[in-house]
Amino acid sequence: MIAACLLMTAGFATPSTMIQPASLQPVLTGEPEPHPNNLYVKLKVNGQTTILWLLSFPDDTIGDVKSSVEDIVGFPINYLSYKGQVLDESGTLASYGIGANATLNAY
């Protein structure tokens, strides 16, 4: 700032040409925070392996994901698993370390 004052007094810069510090305004992208992640759910429908694509948030519960899958396929599923571990419906995706582009298995 001292250099800017010296330049202004010397006639090299005016207040309108000085670089102002950026204001700390949030960037609005139209997406909710935190950003949704892609989540894939693999299951058998009529004997065919099907992979569903869902948008999920880290704080979504396994029960929320299970309900979404049931709404899409139109029949109940027993449980979801990830890397061989059966997931408790009250746990969140984040608590299981399930992030973007993960694939769950539905049974």
Domains, the chain, in order of start with CATH, read 34-107 (3.10.20.90)
pTM across the whole model: 0.68
Residues in the chain, how many?
A: 107
Condensed to tens digits (0 to 9), the pLDDT of residues 58-93 reads 999 999 999 999 999 999 999 999 999 999 999 999
The tens digit of pLDDT for each residue in 15-40 reads 544 444 555 555 556 655 677 899 99
Question: Which amino acid is residue 6, in one-letter code?
Answer: L
Predicted local confidence at residue 29, as pLDDT: 62
* Residue-level pLDDT at 33: 64
Cα separation, 102 vs 98, whole angstroms: 6
Half-sphere exposure of residue 61: CA atoms within 13 angstroms, side-chain side: 8
